[in-house]
Amino acid sequence: MKAIQYERYGPPDVMQLVDLPDRVPATDEVLIAVRAVSVGPGDCKTRSGSLDGSHPASFPKIPGRSGAGIVVALGAQADFATIGDLVCFSTPHTESGSCAEFVTRPRDQIGRVPPPLDAVAAAAVGHPGVCAWIALVETARVEPGMRVLVQGGSGTIGAQAIQLAKHLGARVSATARRKNAAYVERLGADEVIAFDEGGDAGRARFDVVLDTVGGETHRRSYAALRAGGVLVYLRAAPIDETPARTDVRTLLARIDYRPEILEKVLALAAQGVLRPQVGLTLPLAQCAEAHRRLEARTHGLGRVVLTVP
């Protein structure tokens, strides 16, 4: 099979298209013919080596943490899927990634994709949707009527978070560049704060702030929270881990890919509640170009998705 692989950390062109032996599923796994691969900032960070301290890669490394494809073979005890199923899947940091024609996955790392979603849509919404769900539903416990601020509203996780928070009945504000304000409004934000024009989220206005940006933005998020509010964050730009206030809760959203969450996200996408956002599609062989475009921020608004014919 064809796959993308790299043998050392470095710039995007360390990644090469290679021929590898065909995959054979273990007894509790299915074999998936990959149709679409989601590429995000974490893939670039892993490839560059900047996550070596927390998530060291073992080489040779196939990049990619998630994707979607068709089940084409079953291990002897893999009774949880049927040949022909369209599934969304994740691949942990420690294992071979999704940038390959075939992957093998166990039950706890796949979710069925309901119609009318196709593989590209499922790959685009699966990972950012799960991140948004874990942050807003499981960690911050957003409820109807709450005021929620999404830092990074034009990003792929921000875009799903805005839609999910609206679905949960919250009143949603989001930070974004002025040029992306209309996009963020189309996602459902009630208010857009243009961070590149010095827009400020104000003081003590929000019950929940979701920080997908980190760095200084993380620090500034504290002021926007009311007493008793929640700052929920993903690991983005490095932050000062010491909370700036003691009258709010600071919670890391711990991301995993339990099938029950993935399937809830995919069901909401199939209902049109979470609209998949695709910024750029390229063929799998152009994985290095996908990383270059992501790092140069020229991939458009939405996920970069690699397609496999």
Ligand X SMILES: NC(=O)c1ccc[n+]([C@@H]2O[C@H](COP(=O)([O-])OP(=O)(O)OC[C@H]3O[C@@H](n4cnc5c(N)ncnc54)[C@H](OP(=O)(O)O)[C@@H]3O)[C@@H](O)[C@H]2O)c1
Q: What angle do CA 253, 158, 109 make, to 5 degrees?
A: 55
Report whether 241 contacts 215 (CB < 8 A): no
Q: Is 157 in the site for ligand X (CB under 6 A)?
A: yes
Q: Is 66 in the site for ligand X (CB under 6 A)?
A: no
- Give least dist CB 75 to ligand X, A: 29
- Give least dist CB 135 to ligand X, A: 9
Can you read off the two tokens belonging to residue 4?
């993308």
CA Rg value for the chain:
19
Give the Cα separation of 251 and 232 in Å (integer): 5
Report whether 93 contacts 22 (CB < 8 A): no
Report whether 17 contacts 2 (CB < 8 A): yes
Report whether 110 contacts 88 (CB < 8 A): yes
Q: Which stretch binds ligand X (CB under 6 A): 13-21, 24-32, 175-183, 257-265?
A: 175-183
Residue 71 or 88: which CB sits closer to ligand X?
88
- Give least dist CB 295 to ligand X, A: 10
* Of the residues 5, 98, 109, 156, which one makes contact with ligand X according to CB under 6 A: 156
- Give least dist CB 223 to ligand X, A: 14
Q: Choose among 42, 73, 70: nearest CA to 55.
A: 42
Taking the CB of residue 56, how many other CB atoms lie within 10 A of it? 13
Can you read off the two tokens belonging to residue 58?
């073992």
Positive or negative CA dihedral for 89, 93, 95, 98?
positive
Taking the CB of residue 59, how many other CB atoms lie within 10 A of it? 10
- Give least dist CB 267 to ligand X, A: 21
* Of the residues 66, 212, 221, 250, which one makes contact with ligand X according to CB under 6 A: 212
- Give least dist CB 301 to ligand X, A: 8
* Of the residues 2, 177, 249, 258, which one makes contact with ligand X according to CB under 6 A: 177
Q: Which stretch binds ligand X (CB under 6 A): 23-31, 118-126, 170-178, 281-289?
A: 170-178
Provide the mask over 101-140, with x wherever binding to ligand X is found by CB under 6 A and - wherever it is not: ---------------------------x--x---------
* Of the residues 12, 42, 67, 126, which one makes contact with ligand X according to CB under 6 A: 42
Amino acid in position 233: Y
Q: Which stretch binds ligand X (CB under 6 A): 98-106, 109-117, 153-161, 243-251?
A: 153-161
Pairing of strands 102-106, 171-176: unpaired
Binding site for ligand X (CB under 6 A): 40-42, 128, 131, 151-152, 154-158, 175-177, 195, 212-213, 217, 234-236, 255, 297
